[in-house]
Amino acid sequence: MSSDARLTLITRPDCHLCEEARAALGRVVAVTGDRWIEWDVTTDVELERDYGDRLPVVLLDGKEHGYWRVEEERLLRDLTTPQL
């Protein structure tokens, strides 16, 4: 599951919060120019086990950034702040 995208959205079908998260990520990447990918927990037992009760989940650079709601301002800040 490798990609050059910094953001990953972990979802499942028929998840209304996941729809909201997709829209939020769309707004964020419209500002930053970053890419994002989506993983569906129903296609991977390990993802389901790790994240299934907290969807949607946003990963930034492979690390959990948040779940249930996308904190757009925080995500924008974290995407645009240089890493030390």
Residue 17 has a pLDDT of 97
pLDDT digits (tens), the chain, 84 positions:
446 899 999 999 999 999 999 999 999 999 999 999 999 999 999 999 999 999 999 999 999 999 999 999 999 999 998 766
Q: CA 11, 77, 60: angle at the middle one, nearest 5?
A: 35
* Count of other CB atoms within 10 angstroms of residue 12: 18
Whole-number pLDDT of residue 82:
75
pTM of the model: 0.91
Alpha helices in 1-84 (DSSP H): 16-32, 45-51, 72-80
pLDDT value of position 81: 87
Confidence at residue 74, expressed as pLDDT on a 0 to 100 scale: 97
Say how many C-beta atoms besides its own lie within 10 A of residue 57's C-beta.
Answer: 22
List domains and CATH numbers for the chain. Answer: 7-80 (3.40.30.10)
